[in-house]
Chains A and B, each alone.
Chain A
Amino acid sequence: MGFMERIFKQPRWGVHPDDHKRPAADAPLRHLPTPAKLYVPLVQHVGAPARPIVLVGDKVLKGQMIAEPGGNISAPIHAPTSGTIVAIGDVTAPHPSGLTLPAITIESDGRNEWIPCHGVDDPFSLPPEQITKITAAAGVVGLGGATFPSAVKFNLGKRLEVSTLIVNGGECEPYLSSDDAIMRGYADQVIDGVRLVMHAIGARQALVGIEDNKPEAIAAMKKAAEGFDNIHIRPVPAWYPMGSDKQLIQVLTGKEVPADARAAELGVLVHNVSTCAAVHKAVRLGQPLVERIVTVNGGAVKNPGNIFVPIGTLVEDLLAFCGLKENPERMILGGPMMGTPLPHSRTPVVKGASGILAFNEAEAAVPDAGPCIRCGSCSKACPMGLLPLEMAAHIRADDLEGAEAYGLQDCIACGCCSFICPSHIPLVQYFNHAKGELYSQERAKLRTEATKRLAEARTARLEREAVEKAEAAAKRKAARAAAKAAEAAKLAPSPDKGRDGEGFAAASPAVMAANPPSPPLSGGSPDGAETAPTPEGASS
Chain B
Amino acid sequence: MNQPSVVAAPYTYISKNVTNVMSWVMIALTPATLYGFWLYGWPAIFLWCLTILSTLAGEAFCLRLMGKPAKPVLLDCSAALTGWLLAVSLPPWAPWWIGVMGGLFAAIFGKQVFGGLGQNPFNPAMVARVALLISFPVPMTSWVSPLPITTADAPGLWQGLMITLNGMPKAYDAIASASLLGFAKTEMSRGLDLVQAFAQSAAPSLSIEGFRQGSLGETASFLVAGGGLVLLWLRIITWHIPAAVLAGVMIPAAIAHGIDPGHYLPASSHLISGGIVLGAFFIATDYVTSPNTPLGQILFGLGIGFLTWIIRTWGGYPEGVAFAVMLMNIMTPIIDRVCKPRIYGRNRRGKPIVADKVI
- Chain A: residues with CB nearer than 8 A to chain B? 3, 6-8, 10, 15, 17-18, 96, 163-164, 174, 246, 250, 253, 255-261, 265-268, 330, 332, 336-341, 359, 363-364, 366-376, 379, 383-387, 389-390, 406-407, 410, 413, 415, 418-424, 426, 428-429, 432
Contact = CB atoms under 8 A, between A and B. Distances in A.
A374 B358 contact: no
B64 interface: no
5 contacts: A258-B352, A258-B355, A341-B11, A387-B292, A428-B8
A514 B12 CA distance: 72
For B9, B20, B344, the residue with the greatest tally of chain A CB atoms inside 10 Å of its CB is B9
A10 B14 contact: no
A158 to B, nearest CB: 16
A164 B344 contact: no
Nearest to B117: A371
A259 B17 contact: no
A163 B345 contact: no
Interface stretch (B37-45, B146-154, B200-208, B230-238): B230-238
Interface stretch (B164-172, B306-314, B334-342): B334-342
Contacts of B336: 390
Given A15-B14, A371-B117, A384-B344, A261 B7 contact: no
Given A261-B352, A429-B8, A369 B20 contact: no
A375 B292 CA distance: 7
Lowest 7 A-B CB distances belong to which pairs?
A415-B10, A259-B345, A376-B292, A259-B352, A260-B352, A371-B118, A267-B358
A432 B8 contact: yes
Contact of A337 (B10, B293, B345): B10
A250 B11 CA distance: 27
Chain A interface, >50% SS class: loop
A410 B233 contact: no
Given A164-B358, A429-B8, 17 more contacts: A3-B233, A7-B232, A163-B358, A258-B355, A267-B358, A337-B11, A341-B11, A367-B17, A371-B119, A373-B287, A383-B344, A384-B343, A390-B292, A406-B340, A410-B343, A419-B13, A428-B9
A359 B13 CA distance: 14
Contacts of B13: 366-367, 418-419, 421, 424
Contacts of A372: 118
B137 interface: no
Nearest to B234: A6
Nearest to A338: B9
A420 B12 CA distance: 10
Contact of B343 (A163, A259, A371, A418): A259
A372 B356 CA distance: 38
B357 interface: yes
A54 to B, nearest CB: 35
Given A383-B344, A420-B14, A266 B357 contact: yes
B103 to A, nearest CB: 20
B353 A379 contact: no
For B118, B355, B358, the residue with the greatest tally of chain A CB atoms inside 10 Å of its CB is B358
Nearest to B78: A373
A415 B290 CA distance: 25
Contacts of B342: 385
Contacts of B235: 6, 10
B11 A339 contact: yes
A425 B233 CA distance: 25
Interface in B65-86: 76, 78
A3 B1 CA distance: 39
A367 to B, nearest CB: 6
B358 A359 contact: no
B16 interface: yes
A422 B20 contact: yes
B353 to A, nearest CB: 5
Contacts of B357: 163, 266-267
B174 interface: no
A379 B295 CA distance: 13
B10 A336 contact: yes
Nearest to A246: B344
Contacts of A174: 12
